[in-house]
Chain A
Amino acid sequence: MDKKAVVYINQFFGQIGGEEAADHPPEIQEGAVGAAQALAAGFEGKISHTVICGDNFMSSNQEEAVSRILEMLEDIDFDIFFAGPAFQAGRYGNACGAVGKAVKEEFEVPVISSMNEENPGVDIFKKDIYIFPGGRSGAKMQEDAGKMARFGNKILKEEGPFPADEEGFFKRGIRHQYFRPDEKPAAERAVEMLLKKMKGEEYTSELPIPEVDRVEIAPAIKDLSQVKVALVSSGGIVPIDNPDRIQSASATRWGKYSISGMDRLDNRSSQGFKTIHAGYDPAAADDDPNRVVPVDALRKYESEGRIGELHDYFYVTVGTGTTVGEAARMGREIAQDLKDAGVQAVILTST
């Protein structure tokens, strides 16, 4: 097959070094280097280059690392991009996902990775790139790289579509209609499914309803007068220049903004705060952002002694179109920050 691939691996699998070399900046080498050879074994095209980057360098300078890698690839002609396998390594999984996603968007080539189901990179990036379920450690290198290479061969040779359940990659939340090759009509499928369900036999719903991860409601706080309260919102209220570039929909970023010394949030026309939320009419929130993040009301409570104090920062993201996976990650990150700051109660405002 006359096709070319580029592979992304970390410093360890690129044979630069272990944890001591984790700050290694991105570099590109010709051919299949280190673990990329495991892919070369099954890939029917040619691996023209290997990109190697230290996991620490990537996690602490992700934007810079990704943009350097995109630059390196600019003059290279390639048809497909492999990242990993990353096994259960969290930083490595995140790196494969971040680089893979950027490469896919910039060069419009298919991107294939492999990660263990426990790797947080799976939930974050499965929508963006093909991720195959992999082993926990490098012991599964041959197997995991083999899966990636085989799917790479297929995707370069055949026209899709490639259903997740047939190919084996993690479901990406991308659902399209599909003509069943057996042409079994819906009437037969429905009656068969019902008969199985009534007999207690196994059946497969054609539309699995996502598991809802219900969070228990915490016990009520009896006395708020000694408690530090924070405001957290999915209503998209940000300083007028949106310094963290939180997205207006399908957000993956959150922000933390100081309200220390403020009696209320100034509005948009006073160069204070505005909403960047694309899911509701912004007029009222731009006119008075306190109606989404009620700093004014909480200050009043603070002065009346009804709450101990208002935390010096409020936290915000945008809720519209945001995936449950991203929302849960941002929630965990915000919760950790609140805990570190000794916040004991949160008022969560939605829109």
Chain B
Amino acid sequence: MKLELGNFNVKEIEFGEKTAYQKGKLTINKTEALNVVYEDDHIIDADLKIVKPGDRVRLVPVKEAIEPRYRQGGGPVFPGVTGELLQAGKGQTKALKDMSVLVVGKHWGGFQDGLIDMAGEGAKYTYFSRLKNVVLVADTDEEFEKREQQKKNRALRWAGMRLAEYLGRTVKELEPEEVEKFELPPIADRVCELEDLPGVVLVLQPQSQMEEDGYNDLSYGWDTNHMLPTLMHPNEVLDGAMISGSFMPCSSKWSTYDFQNFPLIRKLYQEHGETLNFLGIIMSNLNVSLEEKERSAQFVAQIASTLGAEGAIVAEEGYGNPDADYTACLVALEDAGIDTVGVSNEATGRDGTSQPLVAMDPKADALVSTGNVSELIELPPMETVIGELEALGRDGLSGGWEDDEELGPSVREDGSIIMENNAMFCGDGVTGWSTKTMKEF
């Protein structure tokens, strides 16, 4: 399967007469763009903002991040989600790089939503502070979940995807500034030199622990809760086959942007043919019952063995209960004789003394750690807030609180905040961004 990503490096974004991309500048006709947002009647109020690194802006509650793209030939960027079901991962897809569409609630946040600071101390905690962002800040009529801690955010997330497709269409007729090629031949056809390199699989455990529809990560529109581990081509993930859900504490979350740009996939591609033979992705999931956890681990180990993998990297979207799925998968792969490395964050508590993972096993002897979900972060006020700052404390964001005996409220009168890392938007970069690790102090 061969995928070409045709990249356009966005250097500047501004509002203007006509929505168009020209030589690094993306111009957006706001009214026209908002019309795309309002295609869903559930959106009752929407606005667009533009933020760039260094702006004294705080965004909260952030629900999703998406890279604007155009699928050459006109198919949906997210097959099975924003349009018909078709094969992702082949042909050409154009992408607006160095930017994202961020979706922010105008008022209401929830457990799964997060915060981004575009400048200052807070900017080091999330990858999205480094991008130029078109921010959709909107409200919906989804009354049933307005006061729920756990929100599906359906209308807002889908509006974000529509907006990303709308912006992606600006480069429909343009020649990419740079083309990245992603190609892996069928495993059975791989040439002799490759056979001497160790076969490696990437095992992904996207979040799928909600039994009710509407919260979990989707694979071609299919709820990952209802699937067994399966083999996927890495190109599919890079090309819109997977979209983020709306469930996990935010620093652990993989946004749709993260799936589209997955650093672990890109790194394995880079090493393919040099130091290893990248066999593909085993798309697993995270489960509720023990038997489901064990069944998925068994499937993963079997597929990896059948493919002849000598090495595996496992990445977990979440912490706490799903650590059981994560460790079970690491152990099953090791038991199958496959050298395995795990990537996840830890939950060592505010004081750093709690057990790092809910389930631990000595066989998991090669782990990469990307942060502590409970780390306390205190940040000064920001000049501008997009969204509603009160949401951090009021709406049950996983890293915020109304009041605390020792620490006081998360949101203070002067606009400064104190929160757990949990609420940093996709802050633990488990997909491979994270420059954080964990150390003993």
Residues of chain A touching chain B, judged by Cβ–Cβ distance below 8 Å, are 127, 160-165, 171-180, 183-191, 193-195, 197-198, 203, 205-207, 209-212
> How far apart sit A180 and B145, CA to CA, in the bound complex (Å)?
39
Judging by beta carbons under 8 Å apart, are B339 and A206 in contact?
Answer: no
Interface of B is mostly: mixed
Which residues in B have their C-beta under 8 angstroms from that of A185?
Answer: 263, 429, 432-435
Tell me the complex Cα distance, A209–B346, Å.
Answer: 12
Of the residues A161, A171, A179, A210, contact of B124 by C-beta under 8 Å: A179
Which one, A183, A184, A205, contacts B365 given CB within 8 A? A205
Contacts of B271 in A (CB 8 A): 191, 195
A197 to B368, CA, bound (A): 13
Q: By the criterion CB–CB under 8 Å, are B439 and A175 in contact?
A: yes
Chain A, residue nearest B357 (CB): A207
Rounded to whole Å, the gap between the CB of B307 and the closest CB of chain A is 15
* Contact call B439/A178, Cβ cutoff below 8 A: yes
Q: How many residues of B contact A (CB 8 A)?
A: 53
Say whether B362 faces chain A, with CB atoms less than 8 Å apart.
yes
**A209–B330 Cα gap in the complex (Å)?**
13
A180, B437: Cα distance in complex, Å: 7
* A and B contact pairs by CB, cutoff 8 A, 15 listed: A165-B439, A172-B441, A176-B352, A177-B372, A177-B375, A179-B436, A186-B264, A186-B433, A186-B434, A187-B433, A190-B343, A191-B267, A191-B268, A206-B367, A209-B365
Report whether A174 and B441 are in contact in the complex, using a CB–CB cutoff of 8 Å: yes
Using Cβ atoms and an 8 Å threshold, which residues of chain A touch B260? none
CA A176 to CA B347, docked complex, whole Å:
9
The answer to whether B366 and A193 have CB atoms under 8 Å apart is yes
CA distance A177 to B360 in the complex (A): 19
**Which of B266, B310, B348 is in CB contact (< 8 Å) with A175?**
B348
A194-B341 in contact (CB<8A): yes
| Distance of B425 from chain A, by nearest CB (Å) | 16
> Could you tell me the distance in whole angstroms from the C-beta of B35 to the nearest C-beta in chain A?
38
CB distance from B352 to the nearest CB of A (A): 4
Chain B 93-124, CB within 8 Å of chain A: the 1/0 string?
00000000000000000000000000000001
B437 touches A194 (CB 8 A): no
* Inter-chain contact A177/B371, CB cutoff 8 Å: yes
A184: chain B residues within 8 A (beta carbon): 435
Q: B439 is contacted by which of A164, A191, A193, A195 (Cβ under 8 Å)?
A: A164
Say whether A162 contacts B267, CB under 8 Å. no
Q: Are B440's CB and A174's CB within 8 A?
A: yes
- Contact A186 B357, beta carbon cutoff 8 Å: no
Known: A180-B435, A194-B339. A211 touches B441 (CB 8 A): no
The interface bits of chain B over 218-257 (1 if a CB of A lies within 8 angstroms of the residue's CB, else 0) are 0000000000000000000000000000000000000000
The distance in angstroms between the C-alpha atoms of A197 and B312, with both chains bound, is 11
Given contacts A193-B366, A194-B313, A197-B341, contact A176 B435 (CB under 8 A): no
Closest to A211 in B: B362
Return B298 CB to nearest CB of chain A, in Å.
22
Taking a contact as CB atoms closer than 8 A, the residue among A174, A179, A194 that contacts B352 in the complex is A174
Tell me if B430 is interfacial: C-beta within 8 Å of chain A: yes
Q: A177: which B residues are within 8 A, CB to CB? A: 371-372, 375, 421, 436-438
Shortest distance between the CB of A171 and any CB in chain B (Å): 4
Could you list which residues of chain B lie within 8 angstroms of chain A, going by C-beta atoms? Answer: 124, 198, 200, 263-264, 266-268, 271, 275-276, 310-313, 339-341, 343, 346, 348, 351-353, 356-357, 360-362, 364-372, 375, 421, 429-441
Candidates A173, A178, A197; contact of B366 at CB < 8 Å? A197
Q: Which of B341, B365, B429 has the most CB of A within 10 A?
A: B341
A residues in contact with B430, CB < 8 Å: 186
- Min CB distance, A250 to chain B, in Å? 9
CB distance from A230 to the nearest CB of B (A): 30
Contact B313–A190 (Cβ < 8 Å): yes
Most buried by B among A163, A164, A185: A185
Q: Is A175 in contact with B440, judged by CB distance below 8 angstroms?
A: yes
Does A190 lie within 8 Å of B432, measured CB to CB?
Answer: yes
B372 near A187 with CB under 8 A, answer no
Whole-angstrom distance between the alpha carbons of A47 and B364 in the complex?
Answer: 47
Within the assembled complex, what's the spacing in Å between the Cα atoms of A259 and B101?
70
| Docked pose: A177 CA to B373 CA in angstroms | 9
Which one of A179, A197, A212 contacts B339 once the chains associate, using CB atoms below 8 Å? A197
Q: Which residues of A contact B431 (CB under 8 A)?
A: 187
Q: How far is the CB of A311 from chain B (nearest CB, A)?
A: 34
Give chain A residues whose Cβ lies under 8 Å from the Cβ of B264.
186-187, 190-191
- Tell me the minimal C-beta distance from A304 to chain B in angstroms: 39
Closest 6 CB pairs of A and B: A187-B432, A187-B263, A164-B440, A207-B367, A187-B267, A174-B352
CA distance A131 to B417 in the complex (A): 35
Q: Quick one: which of B312, B348, B375, B429 has the most chain A CB within 10 A?
A: B348
Residues on A with beta carbons closer than 8 Å to the beta carbon of B433: 185-187
Give Cα A144 to B267, complex, Å: 45
User: Closest Cβ of chain A: how far from B168's Cβ, in Å?
Assistant: 25
List residues of chain A with CB within 8 A of the CB of B429: 185-186
Which residues of A sit under 8 angstroms from B313, Cβ to Cβ?
190-191, 194
- Known A-B contacts A165-B439, A203-B366, A209-B365; A174 and B339 likewise in contact (beta carbons under 8 Å): no
Expressed in whole angstroms, the Cα–Cα distance for A187 and B266 within the complex equals 9
In whole angstroms, how far apart are the Cα atoms of A179 and B432 in the complex? 14
Known: A172-B441, A190-B368. 14 other contacts (CB 8 A): A175-B352, A175-B353, A175-B356, A175-B440, A187-B431, A187-B433, A188-B432, A190-B313, A194-B200, A197-B311, A206-B368, A206-B369, A209-B360, A209-B361
Q: Is the CB of B124 within 8 A of A193?
A: no
Chain B residues near A180: list those with CB within 8 A. 435-437
A193 to B339, CA, bound (A): 10
Contacts of A191 in B (CB 8 A): 264, 267-268, 271, 276, 313
Of A163, A187, A211, the most chain B CB neighbours within 10 A belong to: A187
Complex CA distance for A190 and B266, rounded to whole angstroms: 12
Give the distance to chain B from A301, nearest Cβ to Cβ, in Å. Answer: 35
CB distance from A324 to the nearest CB of B (A): 11
Beyond A161-B441, A175-B356, A175-B372, is A198–B311 a contact (Cβ under 8 Å)? Answer: yes
Min CB distance B143 to A, Å, is 37
Give CA–CA (A188, B431) in the complex, Å. 11
- Per the bound structure, the CA–CA distance linking A209 and B421 in Å amounts to 23
Give the shortest distance, in Å, between A105 (CB) and chain B (any CB): 14
Q: Which residues of A contact B372 (CB under 8 A)?
A: 175-177
Chain B: CB-nearest residue to A167: B441
- Measured in the bound complex, the distance between the Cα atoms of B341 and A195 in whole Å is 10
User: B432 to A207, Cβ gap below 8 A?
Assistant: no
Determine how close the nearest CB of chain A comes to the CB of B254; give it in whole angstroms. 13
Establish whether residues A173 and B432, one from each chain, have CB atoms under 8 Å apart when the complex forms: no
Known: A174-B351, A175-B346. A194 touches B311 (CB 8 A): yes
- The answer to whether B339 touches A178 (Cβ under 8 A) is no
By beta carbon, the residue of chain A nearest B372 is A177
Q: With CB as the reference atom, state the residue of chain B lying closest to A191.
A: B267
Q: Which residue of B lies closest to A200 (CB)?
A: B339
What's the least CB distance linking A173 to chain B, in Å? 6
Q: What separation, in Å, do the CA atoms of A179 and B372 have in the docked complex?
A: 11
The residue in A161, A165, A186, A197 that gathers the most chain B C-beta atoms within 10 A of its C-beta is A186
* Residue in B362, B434, B440 whose beta carbon sits within 8 Å of that of A171 in the complex: B440
